Amino acid sequence: MKKLKNLKTSRTLGRLFDFHQIMLNEHLYMLYQGMITHEIMRAFLSVFKFMIKSLISKKRKALRKATIIMIECLQNVAMHGANEKNKKLNRHPSIFLFGTSGNKYVIETGNLIRHGEITRLETRLDDLNKLDRKSLKSLYKGKLSKTSISKKGGAGLGLINVAILSGEDLEFNFKKINKSYSFFSLRIKIANN
Amino acid sequence: MNSMQLESTKETPKIILDKEKEILEISGISVPEDVLKFYKPILYWLDEYILNPNEETNVVFKLEYFNTASSKLILDILFKFKSLKDKGNKVLIRWYHEEDDADMLLAAEMYAELTDLEFEYIITEFE
């Protein structure tokens, strides 16, 4: 009986080792699944600050950018994610990933979104991807002086800032989950050199 | 006029607004969930200060990180100082940033353009 239990335990721990290998092979540093709240963002900020401290200054610059992008992306999910608003949707929790791909840092977030919100978000992201850095900066500057803080606490500037800091196209995807919701995935890359 | 002092937290900056000692300083991280709740008392203090300011006003911004919602409130603060400058007072914004932090410098330059205030850029190292 004891032998059987040990076998089961080692299988489960074997799974953990597999995850460990996957994360190493995929160059993932952090993977979180669950509710994304302001407190979670704050906890990750402490982790990012810890990582920044341990880096040489050249690499620190890119990680500082990644940190600001992480803050904006997680605050967006906390503010707008359907999972965060409706606990009944906890079968599809939000997800956050941080790692590297080639010489770039990668931040990815995933959360549920109502079908009705897709078109607006898609248009917004497509529009941002069409703009070069100079146009993004002037868009940000123009909006900054006109915008006001919404009831949710946002300024409507987060994605523009993310696009400026990233300097790359914002990659995104919507996957239908059921008749009301889709899973929205967003990937941001940050040059690490 | 009463001074206003707030210690920094994991999500809000340290605030020193002291007219007598001529120290106006915002330093640290600004990523609060509710930016209005945090910044409103600061804006009210500045409204009062503007009515009866010091001869010269030097303002220190030593921000390591801030979210975009805070960036809007920082602009609101700077607009208060702009109104002071427009009345003929001398105002200088001392903006601290890390060496090579082009993004923070970019933000400051954006603020300088939008407010027409005089900015002095100072290199520092955050802990």
Interface of B with A in 11-70 (CB under 8 A): 11, 29, 31, 33-36, 65, 67-69
Determine the pLDDT at residue A82.
84
Determine the pLDDT at residue A122.
96
Residue B58 bridge partners (DSSP): B92
Q: What is the DSSP letter of B116?
A: -
Instruction: Give the residue among B35, B37, B22 at the shortest CA–CA distance from B75.
Output: B35
Are B33 and A38 in contact (CB < 8 Å)?
yes
Please state the domain extents for chain B. 4-124
Q: pLDDT grade, residue B94 (50/70/90)? A: very high
Pairing outcome for strands B14-18 and B4-6: antiparallel
CATH of A28-191, one of 3.40.50.300, 3.30.70.520, 3.10.310.40, 3.30.565.10: 3.30.565.10
Give the residue ranges of chain A where pLDDT is below 50.
none
Please state the domain extents for chain A. 28-191
Are A145 and B75 in contact (CB < 8 Å)?
yes
Determine the pLDDT at residue A57.
67
Q: What is the DSSP letter of A136?
A: H
Name the token pair of A160.
């523009």
Determine the pLDDT at residue B23.
96
The backbone torsions φ and ψ at residue A3, rounded to the nearest 5 degrees and listed phi first, read -60, -45
Determine the pLDDT at residue A4.
67
Are A75 and B67 in contact (CB < 8 Å)?
yes
Rounded-to-integer distance, Cα A169 and Cα A187, Å? 9
Mutation pick from A54, A145, A152 vs chain B, by most beta carbons of B within 10 Å, is: A145
pTM of the predicted structure, to 2 decimals: 0.91
Rounded-to-integer distance, Cα A161 and Cα B16, Å? 28
- Strand order of the β-sheet with A171-176 is A28-34, A94-101, A104-114, A181-191, A171-176
The answer to whether B20 touches B59, Cβ cutoff 8 Å, is no
Please tell me which of the candidates A68, A141, A149 has its beta carbon nearest to residue B36: A149
pLDDT in tens, A17-56: 999 999 999 999 999 999 999 999 999 999 999 998 887 7
Rounded-to-integer distance, Cα B124 and Cα A5, Å? 57
Mutation pick from A68, A139, A150 vs chain B, by most beta carbons of B within 10 Å, is: A68
In sequence order, the 6+-apart residues with CB closer than 8 A to the CB of A170 are A125, A128, A129, A159, A162, A163, A186, A187, A188
Determine the pLDDT at residue A3.
67
Determine the pLDDT at residue A114.
93
Q: How far is A135 from chain B (nearest CA, A)?
A: 13
Query: Could you give the angle at the alpha carbon of B23 between the alpha carbons of B20 and B27, nearest 5°?
Result: 150
